Structure 1
Amino acid sequence: MAVFTITAFTLNLFTQKDKLSHKQTIALICIGVFLTLTKSVNALLLFPLLFLPKRLFSPNKNERLPFNIQKWAILVVTGIAAIISILIWQKIYGQPLLTTGAAHNPLHSNPLKFITILFNTYISPTIGYTDTVLRGSVGEFSSFKYHLPLFILIPLFSLLFLSLLHYNKKDQELLGEQTGKLAVYNLATIGLFVCAVSYAMYTAWALLPFRFGEGAYYADGVQGRYFTATAVMLVPVGLWLQKYINVRTKNEKVFNLIMFFGLALILSFYIFETVWTYK
């Protein structure tokens, strides 16, 4: 819910023509705190806000300043509020922000090794952890005993891809010239999110002695469900891609029915498989 909230809020701000209201400013700060309290790494989802259009803010009295004072004041306050909320949470529960599974983290002495860790976790065909992450993007919500089979994953991701490429004139007009920019910002945010989660799991889980210890070569413990919600951030990416490749339908109702029944069948299989696994 937190990811959907900040994504919808950000999308709304990028399409907004009027100045940022006081209510929106308060909402932005509250969302920043809410994101941080749900999971500290979620604070990275605020990244696109750094690039909010200037039209949302009052112009500087001093035109020589290279940045907008109101914009950065709001962002700084949001960041401080998020940090304070983390510190309070740690104080109440007495838990560190990130635990380490070994006395020495190899990434501290060799930061470039993190590139290898990412490759082994998400790309390497020999290790096979990519398959676990992809299947777990849905299958790990209810059970760790199984992951969705390939004949379910292919239709699932195909429907997602179709929904992104389905041409929508109103959405195209809504974002306008901001489409490409927001697509880049969101992709960068997803990249940062993946890196942060990978580092956290490598440090806190993969380095544990009963896992791989200091010899860990991938981010063991990463689950696909960690990234599922960020798929909503691909909406601007889909709108940008529609300029070059798109799917047009004569009847919108037919397309919507295909999406509905396709996802309903996948969900039904998911429920059935869960019940069957635990019967």
Structure 2
Amino acid sequence: MAMFVHLTSAANAPRIRRSGIRAAGHGQGGARGVYCFPVLPSYTLTHQWLRELARFGSRGGLVAVHVRLDDGTDVLTGHYGDRAREKQVAVRAAEAVRRIAALDDPRGWEVFVPRAIRPGEVHRVRAAPQVAGWRYVPQAHGVRPCTCFGCQVRGGYGARRLRERLPHPLDGPPPPARVLLARIAAAGEPGDPVVLREALHWFGMRRRGPLPEVARLAEHPDPGVREDLVWAVARWSTPGVDAVLDALADDPHPDVREAVEAVRDPS
């Protein structure tokens, strides 16, 4: 029998003891199942995913669920980066343990069971320390973190301070609204398109904005400015956004009309 550990919120422990582990994880190819990792002699490596999973929040902390699977159980295994490239390999559970145990550095590796874990396969559920493992990526310690939109985790611990300390040239944090409005005013009439589009880029990262001050750009002669206005205000919760989009939906330039269609029907 092969032994694995599955890390989950402590709030799920009673249900897991009663009914097993649901197939809630998404593997390569859209398969649903359960992620786990072999129980290795190294306690730190066995629980290496703790800090990374804790970044995304948990109710009452994380617990370690030890799962005992038959050696012949079909699983997928590989580095987490192989999942997106559809390169994780299908093996038996015992072979997955053997492959990972033989690695010089198994950090970032995972095992995916493409089904739910039955109650009889749950060996035990126990508390786990919340400080073991790596965060972001293996070997991230000492490496300058990336604050681009794709890498940052909004709402994560210290995320705002990190973005302020290491601002990304394209992804912010955006300058204050008063600074952006000053740039728009300094651009003149009708306004330098380069300056206006840069300001709208930053406004697009905000949840609300000074709609009356930027709505006048719907009349700007440059269609690129009008298109960027669509993308900037589309996600604002500020009252009046729909009226601005209604006006731009009849814009003479097709790129502007297509942008309005895209933000109103993202599918």
TM-score, structure 1 as length reference: 0.22
Q: Which has the higher contact order (CA 8 A, sep 6+)?
A: 1
- The structure where helix makes up a greater share of residues is 1
TM-score, normalising length: structure 2: 0.23
